[in-house]
Amino acid sequence: MAASQVIRSEWTKIRSVASTVWTLSLAVVVTVALGMLISALSRHEFGDLSRSDRATFDPTFVSFAGMTLGQLAMIVFGVLVVSNEYSTGMIRTSLAAVPRRATFLFSKIGVATALALLVGMVTSFLAFFLGQVMLGPHRTSLGEPGVLRAVFGGGLYMTLIAMFSMGVAAMLRSPMLSLGILMPFFFLISNILGNVSVTKKVGQFLPDQAGSRIMQVVPRLDDDTPYGPWGGLGIMLLWVVAALVGGYAVLRRRDA
């Protein structure tokens, strides 16, 4: 089967599964709604902030407050795209139709990544613009230094989260096992390692901790992170590449 046919086939699979469509929709709604709520609360409480907190107030990053839950939906999307066929047994049929496993896997990931990138960019720009509306007089604009980079980076961050999840799902080949590892990793382990002084230097090199730097415009006080916004995104990209290579290695060596 030609690569173009495989790509069309993977697109049909993704859009015909209701769970993946609803998951992406949820990513948009949750990220934007929570970002608006936190932005509105930040506007209300701005007068109570200390002088140092006002100096480091980052209206762009505040509007991305919903990204924490939004990335949850992107993780689920990434896992479902890859592991659905394993849970239903359709993987045998797919590999029989496309025996070249690299073509099969990377066509699937390519289509899903393009969709995740579109949704991620729409989500990021919506969250920013509506969040700034909620911030009122404390808002910023795309023309300010670093803001466009942060908003564009927010879309890339969501895309890379989905891609990393696809790689992990390709390695583990089980939706329950993949989600059982990814959820605690991003929402518990990463936060603990990134906020405990003893492990902070390790935690800042985890994919979400490093990647989220791209969305920050105003640096925090006493920030000793050894990389900048693009450096952090580069670290996250290395994690994604490692996960995808691992997923391909498992698919190549193991039977369906």
Q: Is the pLDDT assigned to residue 255 strictly greater than 70?
A: no
What pLDDT, on the 0 to 100 scale, is given for residue 121? 97
At residue 9, the pLDDT reads 79
Best CA proximity match to 245, nearest among 183, 163, 182: 163
**Exposure b/e, 103-123, CB count within 10 A at least 16 = b:** ebbbbbbebbbebbbebbbbb
How far apart CA 79 and CA 243 sit, in angstroms, is: 12
pLDDT in tens, 230-243: 999 999 999 999 99
Q: What are phi and psi of 218, to 5 degrees?
A: -95, 120
Percentage of the chain exceeding pLDDT 90 = 62
Burial of 26 per CB tally in 10 Å (0-12, 13-18, 19+): middle
Per-position DSSP letters for the chain, written without gaps between them: --HHHHHHHHHHHHHH-HHHHHHHHHHHHHHHHHHHHHHHHHHHHGGGS-HHHHHT--HHHHHTTTHHHHHHHHHHHHHHHHHHHHHHTTHHHHHHH---HHHHHHHHHHHHHHHHHHHHHHHHHHHHHHHHHHHGGG---TTSTTHHHHHHHHHHHHHHHHHHHHHHHHHH--HHHHHHHHHHIIIIIHHHHHHSTTTHHHHTTSHHHHHGGGG--SPPTT---SS-HHHHHHHHHHHHHHHHHHHHHHHHHS--
Is the Cβ–Cβ distance between 244 and 98 less than 8 Å?
Answer: no
Q: What is the pLDDT of residues 196-230, one digit of tens each?
A: 877 888 889 999 999 999 999 998 877 778 899 99
The whole model's pTM is what? 0.92
What digits encode the pLDDT tens for the residues 85-94? 877 767 777 7
The tokens of 255 are what? 């039977």
pLDDT tens digits, 19-39: 888 899 999 999 999 999 999
**What pLDDT score does 2 carry?**
62
Q: What is the mean pLDDT of the chain?
A: 90
Q: Give yes or no for residue 51 having a pLDDT over 70.
A: yes
pLDDT bin (cut points 50, 70, 90) of residue 256 is low
Task: Centre a 10 Å sphere on the Cβ of residue 182 and count the other Cβ atoms it contains.
Answer: 21
d(CA 19, CA 69): 17
